[in-house]
Structure 1
Amino acid sequence: MGIRWPRILTPTHLSQIISTQTNPLTALQIFNQAHQKYPNYRHNGPVYATMINILGNSGRILEMKQVIDQMKDDSLLKESNFKAAYQLFSDNCWRLEVKSRVKSLNLLMEGLCRFKKSDLALNIFQEMDFQGCYPDRESYRILMKGLCDDGRLNEAIHLLYSMFWRISQKGSGEDIVIYRILLDALCDDGKVEEALEIIGKVLRKGLKAPKSRRQRLDLSQCRDGEDSEATKRLINEALIRGGVPRMGSYSAMAIDLYNEGRVDEGDKVLDEMRKRGFFPSLPMYESKAEALSKKGRVSELIEEDIKEGTCVPSVRLYNTILKCLCNAGDSELAIGYLKKMAKQVGCVANKETYSILVNGLCKDGKYIEASRVLEEMLIKSHRPGAETYNGLIKGLCSIGRQYEAVMWLEDMVSQGMLPDLAIWNSLVASVCCKMSEIEMFIMNSF
């Protein structure tokens, strides 16, 4: 195996090595050899993710499952061992040689909250101070969601108050997402009066809204509490209109609403920020496009913003629009966007872009066009996944293009990918059908 091993191996270095391998089995062999060559080396999450993606994209499902099982055995962070992971942290966090990191502790808290162990997550949060490791906004968001999901609203309210004198002292607009988690939970629990009391404190202490803006708000419609969704909408509007106009507040609120699929409410945030002289950011458009695509709607409104010049699209935004068009059966229109990307400076189509187009064209039965796009994909040095190859080969066989199908099959196998059994069946059936046609032609000729 022609690779040069470094004197000291790090997970980042190993990820780079296996990513450059054209054969997934060679990458797996290197991945497994690392432990033998470096006894003190251990794989981390990103290395496992890289290896799993390589195997998954090449159709090596059995090997991928083995790596996933290996990853589970290599970690305490699975459902049966969360208490053991917490105990390990509790027993050793005070040691001088142990350096706690906010990112690692956030990951542990998120895992605990996911399995309804927010009480243990709260203990870790409280221990952070003693480690000289201060919780950040993500720490508060994870714990707030965990406490609210577990119905521990009193602890969640106390957590909110601690935010006021810690991370919200300057009235950061991004904190609005965390406030919403608690306010929505209170409304869902029927505690509307308490939610209205807290929103006043949020505007005053959290968002540092001036008194003149707070006095303009009319929340009397919220007090009946009969429709919790309507109440939550009014509270969201109060958070936006009552606070000091900030790009951070608008962006955080809009992205959060779009991620929840509440497109109409997200659009209201965009309208409000435009009135205040702000232009929506690219991440906001990306979140909106994602939300629209999940609802099966083509992003006409985003297209208008692109034409008007208020939005300079990114690769991620284009990919979302392409996915939406292909799902709607408009793969030919999607090809036009690929040409637009080629003309836009700094917006280069990536592997996902081409994969979406090839799969979309195959879904619409346009296999010749899909073959051309796949050729361009390879010219640009992007390797298709096994699923992309399988779909195209099967489609070419169905329209009698056996030669192109065999060419793509050879290319697929040369990259260490395993075609599905159905692909071999399609190819054999197609060839047999072609031969019977030839025999029939010969017989008719005589």
Structure 2
Amino acid sequence: MGKIPPSFRSAISTSMATKPSSLATINPPSAAAKPLHFPKKPARFSRKTHDPNSLESPSPSPSVPPQLQSPFTSPDLSDAKKLFSSVVAASKSPLDARLHNALLQSYAAVAATVHDSISLLNHMVKASPCFSPDRSTYHVLLSQSCKTPGDSLSPVHQVLNLMINRGVAPNQATADVAVRSLCSSGREDEAIELIRELSSKHSPPDTYTYNFVVKHLCKNRALGTAYNFIDEMRDSLGVKPDLVTYTILIDNVCNTKNLREVTRLVSVLSEEGFKPDCFVYNTIMKGYCMLSRGSEAVGVYKKMKEEGVEPDLVTYNTLIFGLSKSGRVKDARKYLDIMVEAGHFPDAVTYTSLMNGMCREGDALGALRLLEEMEAKGCSPNSCTYNTLLHGLCKSRLLEKGIELYQMMKSSDMKLETAAYATFVRSLCRDGRVAEAYEVFDYAVESKSLTDVSAYTALESSLKWLKKAREQGLAV
């Protein structure tokens, strides 16, 4: 990013549960949009696997020739068999299992039915005797069967029976592949039904699958549905929620701004013998910040310290964001110093949150001073930082400084955010600089910062205001 131009510097210098009922169904309010500059959450609820029992559908091996990674474009089974036979005939050495699985996966992506994919697998075994299907092979078919349209599990049962008949018993990885595939197709009810069936015949789901379902239900269904699933799993299968489960629930409830339910869930979590970790506290703090309740966010921070949980960078960024948003910029600045003393280096999110709060208070020049401090300490501002400042400068009637900042953004190919763009264009029109407003419009469209409609709507609104102001003698 470019440094602050000299004109800027001169301007600055001058001025979860013991009883099933503990997870009672509730009707939470609708979810609210996330704040623009809110720090990103750590990716806590995902995992990657690379073994033959991988929970994800197997991907082609790096050793697979590019031309064979996706060779099937037609669902025609006879063509697929001929193509595979030609690959075997042309190979100077036996094909390994990963290549067989990659070819099967390629055909499964275009096959009309699971039955056709099974037929191709049988042909593979016959045409290539050295190939012995493993669990990953059947997981390819299982994933396809779960994505078959309809509400019947018959295709899934067909693949599971095939596995069992060939000596490969379904395990927890198998359940995970099926459940994730069903949920990705919007078939949550069938996923839960399959969990019941596999649990009774083989084994209950592992914690990864269990928490995936909870998170998916929280995202796509009413919270009560997730509570019912948790109760059923505990009562029927003895599978209890863990700390991750409660964190998922707390995060979902925080997003709905239902902090009373958050408090109840934290109590349930404690009753179950779990101690909230830094992630849980950060999640709760985020909920207060979304409501601009800085005092409560500080209370969560103090509670963390009392419980011996050490705050991390996300904690401080969240707290600074919440205090800045609620108009307590001075307090937010104090925590900036505290986080440095604790060994955490402020990043672009930290500084942008503070700048946002300063601009809200009308102290855009103070935000520019902070930008200079930020760069001096080796922290590079990002697009969000500049958009925040551009919006603040225009709001404070510092248009010339806003134009200079815009030129810096343009030279760095930064995109304009909707609020900053609309405020900037409005300020230019208010100052009678219509030609420059059109130039900003062109840049917003060319850089794909906004859609053509959104960019033009903001410009049109400003031009209409200018026309009306001129008619009333309020502008020249």
Larger radius of gyration: 2
Structure showing greater relative contact order (alpha-carbon pairs closer than 8 Å, 6 or more residues apart): 2
Query: TM-score, structure 1 length as denominator?
Result: 0.46
What TM-score does the superposition give when structure 2 sets the normalisation length?
0.44
